[in-house]
A and B are shown apart, each in its own frame.
Chain A
Amino acid sequence: MRVARVALPTTVDEAVVALRDAPGAQLLAGGTDFCVEVNFGLRRPPAVVALRRVRELRRHAVTPETVVIGAGTTYADMGDPGLSSALPALAAAARTVGSPQVRNAGTLGGNVATASPAGDTLPLLAALDARVVLRGPSGERTASLGEVVTGVKTTSIGPDEVVVEVVVDRRPGPQQFVKVGTRNAMVIAIASAAVVVDVEAHEVRVALGSVAPVPVRATAAEVHIADAIDWRAAGGPRASEGALARFGELVAGAASPITDHRSTAEYRRLAVGVIARRALERCVARAA
């Protein structure tokens, strides 16, 4: 009989030490993915470092320039008034995750580290060029989301590293998240899209979920629509019907979806163009 090590640290530094001291130990955050895998015999941790007690991971800070979100921030926490007014599309994405029970447990750090193509917070983070701060025995490093999330459920996070926080630059203007699934609750995305409109830089940022191994930016669509929008129109930015339609086509072209038990590649490609356009239309007016 082996006695398994269980560490219940209260600081990030303690968690890093605990990871180092128990080789093979697995980090446990909200448990909403981890425990399902254990329950179904797909994961058998020899040791666990549980992060639920690390209060510093649950902090967030909103400044005029950036938003820093602790990795332990739950989906429910993302609806916090300060955080949701700075990042309304993150709050919207979080509200589509699972159920209240799941949103009370699951965390931002867990969503990043699990790196599911359907991770609901990832499109917005990709759209905002989020930086991920990781801490290990040799200190902290910062990496882009794209450097961290490298494939389907694979990351560049070292076995001795803890996701500490995610940092995004604030963008002045509207942002939206739209997701397609079989019902409103308790659903894993068939396709999702985050749109961020920067009314000062005259930029549109679009990132897609569940239509590629990792969240993808629809850069051709971004360039096209930024050019097509009348940024100085009275009553706010507006775009023509034709420009919006082209935007949807370019978004669909950026997707490389697969057919699986949730949907088909064809439907995902179609849907992601429709929802990205819909998200954009909630941000900018349609020119008459």
Chain B
Amino acid sequence: MPPEEPLTGSAGPADTPAYERVEPYELVVNGTRMTVEDAWLGESLLFVLRERLGLPGAKNACEQGECGSCSVLLDDVVVCACLVLGVDAVGSRVETVEGLTASGEVADIQAALVEAGGVQCGFCTPGFVVALHDLLRRAPSADDMTVREALSGNLCRCTGYGRILEAVRAVQWQRGAGVSTGEGPGDGA
């Protein structure tokens, strides 16, 4: 966030009020062109999404790529929005959990997480939904180890993960994707 306006958490040097503003820039988020104005150069994509574009689905927790709660898709690749500079997303397609929810493509993932008890406090859930969506479209039949590796960057402190893994298996079953038990086509993560 701009050092001049320390709203919460981290900020730049407090003794330098004038911050490095960037020219207004456009991002394409969930298929919609959006303009970012008056932004500081150092603002992360996460900050821009949440504080400037009104999209709070990606959650702000660690700001260092450890927790995955800010997972978004950048040109179809899952990344931590806190580790992308807002201006560096110019010209790319950004998809957030809001877009995936609106399109209905993650409805079964969301329902399965609720059904299996994979949601407790819910703070990590949007990140899990994005990471799971990314995994299951690349590797619909991913085996347990592949699922665990794909989710290793998403931290949940409530569920102990067992119920989240149960939800993944439920989605795979509902989608008719046979879950493989070893290395094979469709396992590539």
With known contacts A101-B78, A105-B79, A184-B152, A45–B88 Cβ distance under 8 A: no
A 73-108 to B, binary, CB cutoff 8 A, 1 in contact else 0: 000100000000000000000000011111011000
By a CB distance below 8 angstroms, the chain B residues around A30 are 83
Contacting residues, chain B, for A45 (C-beta < 8 A)? 20, 41-42
Residues of chain B whose beta carbon lies under 8 Å from any beta carbon of chain A: 3, 10-13, 16, 18-23, 25, 41-42, 44, 63-66, 68, 71, 77-80, 82-85, 87-88, 90-91, 131, 149-150, 152-154, 189
Asked whether, in the complex, the Cβ of A40 is within 8 Å of the Cβ of B84, the reply is no
Asked if A44 is at the interface of the complex by the 8 Å CB criterion, the answer is: yes
At the interface, yes or no: A126 with Cβ under 8 Å from chain B?
no
A4 and B3 CA atoms in complex are apart in Å by 14
For window 1-26 of A, CB contacts with B under 8 Å fall at: 1-4, 6, 8
CA distance A45 to B78 in the complex (A): 26
Interface size class of A (residues with CB under 8 A): 35 or more
Residues of chain A lying within 8 A (CB to CB) of residue B84: 31, 35, 105
List the B side residues contacting A3 at CB < 8 Å.
20-23
Residue of B nearest to A43 (CB): B42
For this complex, 13 residue pairs linking A to B, each with C-beta atoms less than 8 Å apart, are A3-B20, A31-B85, A35-B82, A38-B42, A41-B3, A43-B42, A44-B42, A48-B85, A98-B65, A101-B83, A101-B131, A102-B83, A186-B152
With contact pairs A28-B85, A104-B77 given, residues A4 and B20 touching in the complex (Cβ less than 8 Å): yes
Q: Give Cα distance in the complex from A28 to B89, angstroms.
A: 12
Q: Considering the chains assembled together, what is the distance between the CA atoms of A222 and B22 in angstroms?
A: 52
Binding site for B on A (CB under 8 A): 1-4, 6, 8, 28, 30-32, 34-36, 38-41, 43-48, 50, 52-53, 76, 98-102, 104-105, 184-186
Contact (Cβ within 8 A) A40 B131: no
Q: Return B36 CB to nearest CB of chain A, in Å.
A: 12
Contact of A39 among B16, B71, B82 (CB under 8 A): B82
CA A102 to CA B18, docked complex, whole Å: 32
Known: A31-B88, A45-B20, A99-B153. 8 other contacts (CB 8 A): A4-B41, A6-B23, A8-B88, A8-B90, A44-B3, A46-B20, A47-B41, A101-B80
For the complex of A and B, the 10 pairs showing the least CB-CB separation, nearest first, are: A99-B153, A185-B152, A4-B20, A39-B63, A4-B41, A38-B42, A36-B64, A50-B88, A35-B83, A101-B80
